[in-house]
Structure 1
Amino acid sequence: MNFLNKMERKFGRYAIHNLSTYIIGAYVIGYFLYFLAPGVLYNYLSLEPYYILRGQIWRLITWVLIPPESPGIFTIIMLMLYYSLGNSLEQTWGAFRYNAYIFSGIISTIIGAFILYAVMGGNIVFGQALFSTYYINMSIFLAFAVCYPNMELLLYFIIPIKVKWFGILYGAFIVLSFLQTNWAGRVAIIASMFNFILFFLMTRNYNKVSPKEIRRKQNFKRQTSQSGRSGITKHKCAICGRTELDGDDLEFRFCSKCDGNYEYCQDHLFTHKHIKK
């Protein structure tokens, strides 16, 4: 997380805002190609290291145009859902972190494809878009389920079910797919889900970017910007004299056992000597 924080401070201004719009737009282009020239998608745009190493370098990018599902009403509904979930994650984490989440899944998928190609001895074509954005999209839903486990979605637009149960169902489906497929498919699943593994299973301090903490920091910055313009601080510790301008991780509380309105920071709230008149 410290590394990600440093990267955000340094490169955050280059983040792509509304990234989910571009993702859906890429799928729309893919669906047009599907109807106009069905053979183009898999024969010339898929992620195939065999052809990439022979000069077709555009495949490093064009494979993200291949939609995760065949066209249909259910697909349209799912894409609208992923668009909504992706926007919510971007608002929660910020554009840079959401970009990092999506692009780490894309990059790890490309790396996984080349590793599998090398392990299998080269000179092999995977075919049928073995490496796709299917599981990357599923990682968006899993990320949303971790951030908002108690939010409800309407199953069949009627039955309200908490997102965490959908997340568990998705996780079970991924595990089942992993067990039933061959080793090539397992490498594809691990590579595509690497962003979820990296951001959630290997990050022990994720609460810093949880929705509740994000809102707290946003409120804090808004309050400090207002107080900074007026030159007046809202909080001040009666012991050390620190104010909210001394750090965005400081919290202040009034002590109910002191006689008078005495406010303390989190370091002195429980350690100070109570003031009695």
Structure 2
Amino acid sequence: MKFLNKLERKYGKYAIDNITLLLILGYVIGYVIQKINIDMFYMLTLNPYYIMKGQIWRIVSWVLVPPSELGFFTIIMLFFYYSIGRTLEQTWGKFKYNIFIISGIIFTVVSAMVAYFILPSSVYEVYKIPAAFTGEVFNFVKGYIISAFVSTYYINLSIFLLFAALYPDMQVMLYFIIPIKIKWLAYLDLALMAYEIYQYGFVCGVIVFASLLNFLIFFVLILQAKGKTPANARRKRDYQKKVYSAKSVYEGGARHKCAICGRTELDNPNLTFRYCSKCTGSKEYCEDHLFTHEHK
């Protein structure tokens, strides 16, 4: 987060405002091209085979390929993604949100190229490719398979998952009828992705993981912002162990006892007790001696 803040102070003025709207407008252009000229539409896809043949515009143009066929529910979903995208932009700031979107696009492109070069020979069995397809023909088929999995669907999904991580208890109306917390929809999407990876294997796994890598990175930042780091979790566990070990240790059933004055909560129910992180052992102090005692 500190690194992003430094970048924002230096390059924040170059951030694109309302980048979600630009993505949706790109989909509109993609839908128009798809209806007018299907051959031109296929020239937009992220196909590593053709990129290696010099069609480098595909590195960027695939962002225009819509995540699904145009229909009523697709339009509703695009409005929904626009809404949550604007909320994320307002929550994180447009620079960090730009980084989130752009990094997702870059990770997807890199993963597609990596998958193209390291696609295992088992692809023949998984995707039912005839063994006679070798050499240049096999490279063409690999490129086609990868382009079929690369989609802006996962970019949109990463936006949704980030929103669910920030606002897990927000309620939405599924199909305008069923009230449901957004975190359960996120869990459902993750389960469906796991099934897709199981069903389609290596290529799908690489593309999905890379497409959502930006979400994983920002999710860690969210946990850090909320104080849910491994170090904090460990301190919480240690504290709970100390509290548990101290229960019913003292006479009269007191759970807390100051190591300096010997007072317990039975002497004064309003006293606050804390363990000192700098003292060894389970030494507990009342509020009057917590900051004034000599560490042992």
TM-score scaled by structure 2?
0.67
Q: Give 1:19 deviation, angstroms.
A: 0.6
CA contact (8 A) 1:20 1:83 kept: yes
Instruction: Tell me whether 1:150 sits opposite 2:150 in the alignment.
Output: no
2:59 match: 60
Closer/same/farther in 2, CA of residues 56 and 17 from structure 1, 3 Å limit? same
User: CA 1:202–1:272 in structure 2 vs 1: closer, same or farther (change >3 Å)?
Assistant: closer
Between 1:179-188 and 1:144-153, the stretch displaced more is 179-188
Aligned residues: 213
Q: Which amino acid aligns with 1:102?
A: I
Structure 1 residue 133, shift from structure 2 partner: 1.0
Q: What is the distance in 2 between the residues matched to 1:176 and 1:89?
A: 28
CA RMSD of aligned residues (A): 2.3
1:106 correspondence with 2:105: yes
How far apart in 1 are the matches of 2:174 and 2:119?
Answer: 42
TM-score norm. by structure 1 comes to 0.71
1:126 matched residue in structure 2: 144
For 2:267, the equivalent position in structure 1 comes to none
Matches of 1:22 and 1:81, distance apart in 2: 15
- SS of the residue corresponding to residue 226 of structure 2 reads helix
Cα deviations by residue, 1:220-252 (Å, 9 ceiling, x for unpaired): xxxxxxxxxxxxxxxxxxxxxxxxxxxxxxxxx
Structure 1, unmatched stretches of 5+, are 209-256, 258-268
Percent identity between the two aligned chains: 47
Cα distance in 2 for partners of 1:171, 1:49 equals 27
CA contact (8 A) 2:16 2:94 kept: yes
- The 3-state SS of whatever aligns with 1:160 is strand
Indicate the residue corresponding to 1:178 in structure 2.
197
- Per the alignment, residue 19 of structure 2 pairs with 19
| Structure with max Cα Rg | 2
Runs of 4 or more, structure 1, over 4 Å off, are: 201-204, 269-273
C-alpha displacement at 1:194, in angstroms?
Answer: 1.0
TM-fit CA distance, 1:135: 1.0
Number of the residue aligned with 1:77: 76
1:29 aligns with 2:29: yes
Correspondence 1:91 to 2:109? no
- Taking the aligned partners of 1:183 and 1:150, their CA distance within structure 2 comes to 34
Q: 2:166–2:222: 8 Å Cα contact kept in structure 1?
A: no
Amino acid at match of 2:60: I
* CA-to-aligned-CA distance 1:140-181 (integer Å, 9 cap, x gap): 111111101111101121222111111111111111212221
Q: Is the 8 A contact 2:165 2:183 kept in 1?
A: yes
How far, CA to CA, are the matches of 1:92 and 1:79 in structure 2?
Answer: 20
Query: Displacement of 1:117 after TM fit?
Result: 1.3
Runs of 5+ unmatched residues, structure 2: 121-135, 228-270, 272-286
Deviation at residue 126 of structure 1 after TM alignment: 2.5
In 2, Cα distance between equivalents of 1:73 and 1:172: 25
Q: Residues of 2 paired with 1:180 and 1:189: CA distance?
A: 13
